[in-house]
Chains A and B, each alone.
Chain A
Amino acid sequence: AQKVTQAQTEISVVEKEDVTLDCVYETRDTTYYLFWYKQPPSGELVFLIRRNSFDEQNEISGRYSWNFQKSTSSFNFTITASQVVDSAVYFCALISTNAGKSTFGDGTTLTVKP
């Protein structure tokens, strides 16, 4: 069975603060993929990043960075110098290469105040 846990239900920060969204996962598969999605109020999922289980390199994309640690089964997401437009619900997800099914965490609602 697969499980994705996003322990932070809601986070509120003031603009320009850095914020880290936590994601911990469980899977018995040795090969899998991890994702982060942003869901603004419109509802459409916006793809942010995909990482496979063999690639533990951290990644930075502009103000976004991701820290993948297989030893702790974590795939955390950091937004640097947050902006009001970053306000959304963020989902961490896992896909098992065996079944191809996506398992989503419960999401973290991020509110960035001006």
Chain B
Amino acid sequence: GAVVSQHPSWVICKSGTSVKIECRSLDFQATTMFWYRQFPKQSLMLMATSNEGSKATYEQGVEKDKFLINHASLTLSTLTVTSAHPEDSSFYICSAQARGASTDTQYFGPGTRLTVL
């Protein structure tokens, strides 16, 4: 089956620093990638949708200047948390929709656990 990887799997950083999280589709091309955030014991909340070569579409309430998304190629999307603060500590999960596939065919990455001290 299709595989999506995320790097790093976990990261601890100091408040005020920026952190980049990568999401890669390993054996397929992903025209669309989705970024989710999951706080402890809560559900997954969609943050943004990114299409290769175009600007990401952010959900209401998500600061686009704080969560920079770059979908530079058909196999890579990155999420950069700028000037991270403790309240940004969360589990970030990406999913990828394969090129030509229907919208219901999305593959999830294993997630990245971010802890901001």
A91: B residues at CB distance < 8 A: 43-44
Within 8 Å by CB of B46, from A45, A102, A109, lies: A102
**Complex Cα gap A104–B95 (Å):** 13
CB distance from B94 to the nearest CB of A (A): 11
CB distance from B49 to the nearest CB of A (A): 7
Q: Is A58 an interface residue (CB 8 A)?
A: no
**Complex Cα gap A97–B41 (Å):** 28
CB distance from A55 to the nearest CB of B (A): 12
Within 8 Å by CB of B106, from A43, A96, A102, A103, lies: A102
B110's nearest neighbour on chain A, judged by CB, is A44
Q: B110 contacts A104, CB within 8 Å?
A: no
B1's nearest neighbour on chain A, judged by CB, is A47
List residues of A (11-56) whose CB comes within 8 Å of B's CBs.
33, 37, 42-45, 47, 50, 52
Q: A100 contacts B43, CB within 8 Å?
A: no
Chain B interface mostly: strand
B36: A residues at CB distance < 8 A: 102
**Complex Cα gap A43–B44 (Å):** 11
Q: B93 contacts A106, CB within 8 Å?
A: no
Q: A43 contacts B110, CB within 8 Å?
A: yes
**Complex interface bits, B102-116 against A, C-beta within 8 A gives 1, otherwise 0:** 111010101101000
Q: Is B91 an interface residue (CB 8 A)?
A: yes
Interface centre among B43, B45, B111 (most CB of A within 10 A): B43
**Complex interface bits, A81-114 against B, C-beta within 8 A gives 1, otherwise 0:** 0000000000100011101111111110100000
Within 8 Å by CB of A33, from B42, B104, B113, lies: B104
**Complex Cα gap A42–B6 (Å):** 14
Within 8 Å by CB of B42, from A47, A50, A106, lies: A106
B32: A residues at CB distance < 8 A: 100
Task: Give A residues with C-beta under 8 Å from B.
Answer: 33, 37, 42-45, 47, 50, 52, 91, 95-97, 99-107, 109
Q: List 10 A-B contacts (CB under 8 A).
A: A42-B110, A43-B91, A44-B108, A47-B108, A97-B103, A101-B34, A102-B36, A104-B44, A104-B45, A106-B43
